[in-house]
Structure 1
Amino acid sequence: MEKAIHESMNAALRTLEKQAIIANNLANISTIGFKEEFNYFIRNKNSQDINKKYYNFSSGNFIQTERKLDLIVQDNGWLVTKDQNGQEAYTKNGHITINENGKLTIQNHELVLNEGNIKIPHGIDLKILPDGTIKQIQKNRDKIIESQIATLKLVRISNNSLIKKENGLFYNKKKLFNKKIILPHDNSIRIKSETLEASNVNPTKNMIDMISNARQFEMNMKIISICDQNIERANQLFNINN
């Protein structure tokens, strides 16, 4: 009886963890570049359940924005940013803004450049070429002068090597154990400007999974309740016989 309660409680806790991930997916339906998350449980040698996460890295729909600092990274490439600790992290969110210090940022994280260390003055027009080259556009009378000022760092990394943290950025699993690992810039990666990649969350599937998990949770709670009732009845019979 106690084993049934224990197993049902563990199953209910696992279901709640799945619900939390599904809720996070649904909350990020409109988040640019968001990748759908899933989880599963494996049992180790000590009969403990370990929560494993994996991600859907398929592309979301492309949105035409006509904004020069919006972009998508093609060829399975990633943009590189610095997190709050200065560590390199990766994102598919290509909505670039310029902060008060003249730095290119995505969601308040500074973009890492392969070439250049720029501080962009207010009101300067920029465009980004397919190879990640950033050009400054200036109008001089009847002429338009373009000058290269920096190049975005673009990297390619195996999906199996990526892990996401609570800040929403992806990291190289190997780098978490070896801080010296720095991925090089990949010259073959191309970007497309004036376009953004939408979240790849499938709302219908996630809603169905949420309903299914809710029913599973109710079933586990019912099993626990039945076990409690059976234990109580058994105790009553034991007291009567004594």
Structure 2
Amino acid sequence: MMRSLWTAASGMKAQQTSLDTISNNLSNINTTGYKRETTEFRSLLYQSIQKETTDTNGQQKPIGAQVGLGVKVAAIGTSFKQGNMLHTEGQFDFAIEGNGFFMIEQPDGSISYTRNGNFQLAVNAAGGLSLCTSDGNAVLDSTGNPITFDANINTNKLVFDNYGNIKYTDAAGNAQNLGISIGIAQYNNPAGLEKIGESYYKESAASGTPRIEGQDANLQRSIVKNGYLESSSVQAVDEMVDMIVTQRAYEMNSKAITASDEMLQQANNLRS
């Protein structure tokens, strides 16, 4: 009976983590570029009650006698399903249709990656203009350098094509290529990226190294839509259903603990 107590307790802990994940999904239902997370479970060790099982005639049975010792959270995976495109008409709003990530420079000089394309223009230390995120981090081009413009440029004449290439419309109305493109990277295993908060990811040993679009001929390039933002991939109905299932599983495990406690109480009350 003590085994059942700890087994049910492991179930309650696992379901609590699942509820934490669901709560995080719901809290980010309006976060631009957010990707839904799911909790993955795995059974714990099995205890062999009998290594060899035989019938009354001494014949070997085809199955043994093992009992499971509970469950654990194996991983919290991220689904990189494409989110809906929201039309914003923002001049420096971008949404990725495909598997790519925007390349962003962090304050410590490291490179992070995001699907949130809500960008702004800001005055940099040199007096020019830099394309940056809403929290001031520089957006990088395909060579890994911050995207900057001269201070006297007419930003209303900047044009962005479907691959993130930046062009400038001259007086004659012709779009001149500036030789700058927004840096887009892909990963062989995006689920292995490390989350560092604020919709940013960093590469890890599990994700592998980034593959830069436009430089890797084997990649199918993403489409960059200017004037759009990618919405969260969280669906409220799915999360509510998962929450109900998680709550019921938690309740059943708690009842198993209560039943085990009552059985132990009865055993303690036995008198010879």
Query: Match for residue 229 of structure 1?
Result: 262
RMSD over aligned CA atoms reads 3.1
* Structure 1: gaps spanning 5 or more residues: none
Deviations 1:154-212 (A, max 9, x none): 12223455424141323333377x8xx45334354431101111111111011011011
Count of paired positions: 234
Between structures 1 and 2, the one with greater helix share: 1
Correspondences of 1:148-227 after superposition (within 5 Å): 148=178, 150-159=180-189, 162-167=192-197, 168-174=199-205, 181=209, 183-186=211-214, 188-227=221-260
- What's the counterpart of residue 113 of structure 2? 90
Aligned amino acid, residue 79 of structure 2: N
* Amino acid across the alignment from 1:40: E
Counterpart CA distance in 2 for 1:190 and 1:131 is: 6
Match of 1:133 in 2: 165
Name the SS for the 1:233 alignment partner.
helix
Counterpart of 2:34 in 1: which secondary structure? coil
Moved more, 113-122 or 96-105: 113-122
2:61 maps to: none
DSSP-derived class of the 2:19 partner: helix
Q: Given the superposition, is the C-alpha separation of residues 182 and 198 from structure 1 closer, same or farther in structure 2, using an over 3 Å criterion?
A: closer
Residue 233 of structure 1 deviates from its aligned partner by: 2.6
- Are the equivalent residues in 2 in contact too, given 1:19–1:210 (CA < 8 A)? yes
TM, length-normalised to structure 2 = 0.72
More moved, 220-229 vs 2-11:
220-229
Amino acid in structure 2 at the alignment position of 1:57: F
The 1:18–1:165 alpha-carbon spacing in structure 2 relative to 1, beyond 3 Å, is same
TM-score (normalised: structure 1): 0.80
SS of the equivalent of 1:112 reads coil
Identity in percent: 23
Three-state SS of the structure 1 residue aligned to 2:265 is: helix
